[in-house]
Amino acid sequence: MANHSWLLRDGTDRERMLDMDRRLQAPRRMSFIVLAMALIACGPWLGWWQLLPLGLAGLLFKAADDRVAGTALPEYWVFAAWAASVAIIGLSVALTGGPTVPMMAWLCIPIVTLSARFSVRGIAVGVAFTIAVLLAVGVGVDAHAVWAYPPLVIGPTALVIAVAILSTALMQSDVEHRSEAVIDELTGMLNRKALTHRIAELTEQARMTGEPVGMIVGDLDHFKAINDSAGHSIGDAVLRDVAQLLRTQLRAFDLAYRIGGEEFLVLLPGSGLTQSGVIAEQLRRAVAVATFGGEQRLTISFGVAASEPGGEFDYPAVFATADAALYEAKDDGRNRVRGAAQSLAATA
């Protein structure tokens, strides 16, 4: 199963979205406070009941935040909460006068956070949805005013599009700079720094859901021989091709990392030892039958471990167990998968 969805291209985008969603939580709360203060100040003219939709939007975001940690495709929950906030703002504007009230411009606020989370496709869908809500509010509430004075909807629509363009450009620049820190330059995989952030998130997720976290540690067999015989440029091409193959074989919510020269690590949220072993064997077979860097053939060995269901995800302990299993696979002749001989609880 490919590790992408219609909102995100791959696991790297998902990692960025989760990171940005965490960063946006505090500013989002501050924004809600600012909007609440504005609504209170406008209460004599608009009515204080407008605070109710704002509170509902806050509850929706809270529900989405709670679901993100324990779901396979968190982007759908994040996008659903985002779309709901646009709809709630549109409803509030409609009930307070539609296109003739200054609050029409508030529909631009969610657009700022759109490009911080999703790919170009997600941004396009979000902008289209916002414009649809804007037009529905304008034409649906007071079509006569809109036809008599089209700038009532042309202005906010142009503002939505302009904000999306500018925020996307700024975010792409930020992504490029941040990618230099968390993306392995050669293979395009996530690196050790990205792994550090993911560990903290999975630890909290395991605590909330009680589900295990599986881990696969892999090392290419006799990779040095390829560098020595074919050259380092071919070796680099082999690493890139192997990385691509691993990514395409994983599930949507699994993430693969390059943690050394020819060493890779895969985190499997919700997978116990048996399921992690099945996935590792799938990866091993895919590598064994493929060619890399043109005509190079090679194999890979895997060590597998997992945290206990209902227990803590102790990354150092799980990694140590998987790494020991990898050494066992190497000692047994390579091109094989070895799992933890006993549970982490028993080992401890």
Catalytic residues: 262
Q: Are 326 and 262 contacting, i.e. CB atoms less than 8 angstroms apart?
A: no
DSSP letter (8 states) at residue 272: -
DSSP letter (8 states) at residue 337: E
**How much of the chain is in helix, strand and coil states, percent to nearest 5?**
70, 10, 20
- The DSSP H or E segment spanning 258 is strand 255-258
**Which residues is 118 bridged to in the sheet?**
none
For 314, phi then psi, to 5°, come to -95, 95
3-state secondary structure of 303: strand
Token duo for residue 126: 């979000």
Query: Closest by alpha carbon to 266, among 331, 318, 211?
Result: 318
Where b means 16+ CB within 10 Å and e means fewer, 79-97 reads bebbbbbbbbbbebbbbbb
Q: How far apart are the first and last CA of the chain?
A: 34
Token duo for residue 101: 């009230």
